[in-house]
Structure 1
Amino acid sequence: MDDLVRGVVPEGYKIELFEGRVIMTPRSPEQDWTVSDVRDAAKSAGISRDRILSDVLIKFPGENDAAPDLTIITGGATRSGNSFTCVDVLAVVEIPSEPDDEKDYVRNVHKYSRYGIPSYLIADPFRRVCTLMTEPHANGYGSTEEIPYGEELTLRLVTGETVRVDTGSFPVREDPAGH
């Protein structure tokens, strides 16, 4: 706690302000490896590294900002300091840090869809499935597809770019509660 008071984030932790609460979670190796695999697939699809962000602040006007596990932004997106705005986001990828993570499965679904994020992907190492949501509207996403780990996932961006991700290398985790 003393480190936090001095403004130092302990090694391996991510701190977010979400709905008025400070959430401090360690980034797991599974999160890191999955982000790396998706980043590599995006780069292989021809998306430049300056459009692929990890844990970079995305501003949502009138609401709490976020630092998604991985974000793909438009070419020519306007940078403001160390952040970007949600209007430039094409896709967000989140990897839950705990089973049935309400932040990723409920709150982020509503937030990202309400702000028109075209594609939201949850790569869940506990359930061993990816949930790809598209067609955002005010209350969620109009289309949801589940892709089991081990199958190829196709992320079609609204720019016409296509990212193919081999989920066979995605790491898995056991539910610590044994569910």
Structure 2
Amino acid sequence: MTAMDDLLARDAVPKGYKVAIFDGEVIMTPRSPEQFWTVSEVQAAARAAHIPRERLLGDVLVRFPGENEAAPDLTIVADGAARHGNSYDCLDVLAVVEVPSRPDDEKDYVRNVRKYGRFGIDCYLIADPFKQVCTVMTESHATGYAKVEEVPYGEPVTLRLVTGERVEIDTSDFPVRT
């Protein structure tokens, strides 16, 4: 049993909070309305692109061999991805979307970039309500991503999955924080 499994089994996570164990550190942050609304918009765009709901996971545990698991704000998994209890394996992840809960969030901008890239998650989107910018990273490699594109809120963003699927996201209604 992992530390996260233990927390969940004991129902030790307060309602309205997201808990992650990252590099041995327990990070507990309240979910913001901006996070919820942004994830909802991306999820709606994915559904409009005919990605079935069974492949769209919000705050669901993803296991990384030899490392702490993660529960991204939104995860798109491959068709036929195997469920392991309440988690999925990182090898089945096609894309991850994160919405930072604070400005210049090191977890999303540094640690997750390295981790997701190292484990071959080919598409990583950070939708930042503080900077009002979407950062789309593709072409994963051992230390991160080879291609990084910044798109200001209000401009369309396209997630191109390795399966050939395309998710067109209208960011004009993405909420902002100051």
* TM-score, structure 1 normalization: 0.93
State yes or no: 1:124 paired with 2:128.
yes
Partner of 1:89: 93
Distance 1:85 1:163 in 2: 22
| 1:71-150 equivalences in 2 (<5 Å) | 71-150=75-154
Q: Gapped runs of 5+ residues in structure 2?
A: 1-7
- 1:12 Cα shift? 1.0
Q: 1:8, 1:61 → 2: CA distance?
A: 24
- Cα offset, 1:78, TM superposition: 0.6
1:15: Cα distance to partner? 1.1
Provide the rounded CA distance (Å) in 2 between the counterparts of 1:127 and 1:94.
Answer: 14
Structure 1 position 156 matched with structure 2 position 160: yes
Q: Pairwise CA RMSD of aligned residues?
A: 1.1
Residue 61 of structure 1 is matched in structure 2 by 65
SS of equivalent residue, structure 1 residue 100: coil
Question: 1:11 and 1:118 mapped to 2: Cα distance?
Answer: 32
Matches within 5 A, 1:17-28: 17-28=21-32
For residues 136-165 of structure 1, give each alpha carbon's deviation from its aligned partner in whole angstroms, at most 9, with x where no partner exists.
011110000001000110111000000000
**Match 1:43 to one of 43, 47, 53:** 47
Offset at residue 29 of structure 1 (A): 0.4
Partner letter of residue 125 of structure 2? L
Q: Give the partner amino acid of 1:167.
A: T
1:113 partner SS: helix
CA displacement, residues 115-146 of structure 1 (integer Å, 9 cap, x when unaligned): 00000000000000000000001111000000
Structure 1, gaps ≥5 residues long:
175-179
Residue identity opposite 1:68 in structure 2: P
CA distance in 2, matches of 1:8, 1:117: 29
Task: Please state whether the residue corresponding to 2:125 is helix, strand or coil.
Answer: strand
For 1:50 and 1:57, the matched residues in 2 are separated by 14
Output the CA distance in 2 between the equivalents of 1:76 and 1:160.
16
> Match for 2:166: what amino acid?
T
Give me the whole-angstrom Cα distance separating, in 2, the residues matched to 1:57 and 1:11.
17
The percentage of aligned residue pairs carrying the same residue is 68
4+ aligned runs moved over 6 Å, structure 1:
none
